[in-house]
Amino acid sequence: MADLRSDFLGIKSPNPFWLASAPPTDKEYNVVRAFQAGWGGVVWKTLGEDPHIVNVNGPRYGAIHGPDRRLLGLNNIELITDRSLEINLQEIRKVKREWPDRAIVVSLMVPCEEPNWAAILKRVEETEADGVELNFGCPHGMSERGMGSAVGQVPEYIEMVSRWAKAHTRMPVIVKLTPNITDIRYPARAAHKGGADAVSLINTINSIVGVNLDNFAPVPEIDGKGSHGGYCGPAVKPIALNMVAEIARDPETQGMPISGIGGITTWRDAAEFLALGASNVQVCTAAMTYGFKIVQEMISGLSDWMDEKGFTSIDEIVGRSVPNIAAWQYLNLNYVTKARIDQDLCIKCGRCHIACEDTSHQAITSMVDGKRHFEVIDEECVGCNLCVNVCPVENCITMEQIHGVDPRTKEPIPDEYGNWTQHPNNPMRVKEAAE
């Protein structure tokens, strides 16, 4: 059986599944229940300075649902912990003592002054927690007070605070990044430069989850008004995956450990984050939707998949997909595919046809010899994969590589790899040749 043990910056946990800093890790009661359920670690909900902040007393969450009420995306306007620093620290110390094999990292957010950071780091160290995570991510409430994503959006601040943190504690320092920026590599590089040991990402995305069409208040609504909140859950996973991969393949931050966060709901999601360069993962929305028990599916699923693939440890998976991420200009333009419809699986809904006919390349029939029949016209198919994605039957439509002459262009398909940098239509290439 695969070994799921995780070592992140020297912080050991029985599996790579941690609960992210969020409502599920706000207090001892929840964290103990999480450990009982099997979670490998937690990042304790962000601590701040006393007097503790207050939260709204109306709705804090809004959601996007599928028609079956499956929760696809969640948004929140909750702030950092609204309990006193002392109570949190006492509970952290107690839980760490009772659960020595589990990871406890403490999330922190204080004003951008060195003494403030020095003071709180000292107090956290006394709890014997395993590490700290600097919350430079929260996009609502705290950011307007110069904290959270207000820091995370300015690389110079990230570097500065990371440096203070490293100077004032022996604990490993993780910097949690906000996705509300244009290029995630800059804040990651700043954390690296400041001496941070790792980054974790993504925090939530600025969002308005909906509008009440009766009173025109945004959702969630507090007495007729609403604020933008942080978006998370399955819907944000692709954004998070890309940001993790961007950092993983950036030469300036190469080798810096990443804790992957963003819509992780199943073992598959976790495996994808690991493959794209995360060394462990943090989960929140899935637990808030289904309860802590879901970690059991994640553990068994990851373990069974690793056994099936012959992987024995998490390290063997981490970063395995990174070499396969290429810039567009290096994709092989001589890889020519055509869609293939399995007529035995086809249920004749015609969605491939209408999607292709209305919005793409008119490459799928609807009628052949007077009968309802859907097949690909190779002379028109550009291999775009849209039909595969809209088909309701899994594996009914697949993409097949062809060789020889492309029926669409009537041109021979070169056997060798060829990309845009080499393409005759590329003006840069022409320029290079002329020089």
Partner 1 sequence: MASQSDAGAPDIASGRLAADEYARNFADLHPPMTAHEALVEADRCLFCFDAPCMTACPTSIDIPLFIREISTGNADGAAKTIFQQNILGGMCARVCPTETLCEQVCVRVEGEGKAVRIGELQRFATDHFMSHSGTPFARAPETGKRVAVVGGGPAGLACAHELARHGHAVTIFEARPKLGGLDEYGIAAYKTVDGFAQEEVDFVLSIGGITVETGKALGRDLTLDSLRTDFDAVFLGMGLAGVNALRAEGEDLDGVRDAVDYIADLRQADDLAGLPIGRRVVVIGGGMTAIDMAVQARHLGAEDVTIAYRRGRENMGASTFEQELAQVNGVRILHWVKPGAVIGNGSVREIELERTRLDEAGKVVGTGETIRLPVDMVFKAIGQTLVEEPLSGALTIEGGKIAVDAEGRTSLPDVWAGGDCAAGGEDLTVQAVADGRDAAQSIHRALYA
Binding site for partner 1 (CB under 8 A): 66-69, 347-351, 353-354, 366, 372, 392-393
385: left (phi over 0), alpha (psi -120 to 50) or beta: left
Name the packing angle between helices 85-98 and 114-125 (round to 10°): 40
- Residues annotated as catalytic are 138
Round to whole Å and give the CA distance between 21 and 80. Answer: 9
Round to whole Å and give the CA distance between 78 and 59. Answer: 9
Pick between residue 67 and residue 100 the one whose CB is nearest to partner 1.
67
Pick between residue 114 and residue 357 the one whose CB is nearest to partner 1.
357
Question: CB 393 → partner 1: shortest distance, Å?
Answer: 6
Q: In Å, how far from its chain's centre is CA 132?
A: 20
Query: Cα-atom radius of gyration of the chain, to the nearest Å?
Result: 25
Q: Are 85 and 109 in contact (CB under 8 A)?
A: no
Question: CB 390 → partner 1: shortest distance, Å?
Answer: 10
Q: Are 1 and 303 in contact (CB under 8 A)?
A: yes
Pick between residue 150 and residue 387 the one whose CB is nearest to partner 1.
387
Round to whole Å and give the CA distance between 20 and 282. Answer: 5
Question: CB 368 → partner 1: shortest distance, Å?
Answer: 14
Question: CB 348 → partner 1: shortest distance, Å?
Answer: 6
Pick between residue 358 and residue 416 the one whose CB is nearest to partner 1.
358
In this structure, which amino acid lies at residue 247?
I
- Transcribe 114-170 into DSSP letters: HHHHHHHHHHHHTTT-SEEEEE----SSSGGGT-THHHHT-HHHHHHHHHHHHHH-S
The secondary structure of residue 136, as a DSSP letter, is: -
Q: Which token pair is 369?
A: 């010899």
* H-type alpha helices, 360-421: 386-390
Pick between residue 66 and residue 310 the one whose CB is nearest to partner 1.
66
Pick between residue 239 and residue 349 the one whose CB is nearest to partner 1.
349
Question: CB 13 → partner 1: shortest distance, Å?
Answer: 39
Q: Which helix (H) or strand (E) holds 398?
A: strand 397-402
Q: Which token pair is 80?
A: 């950092």
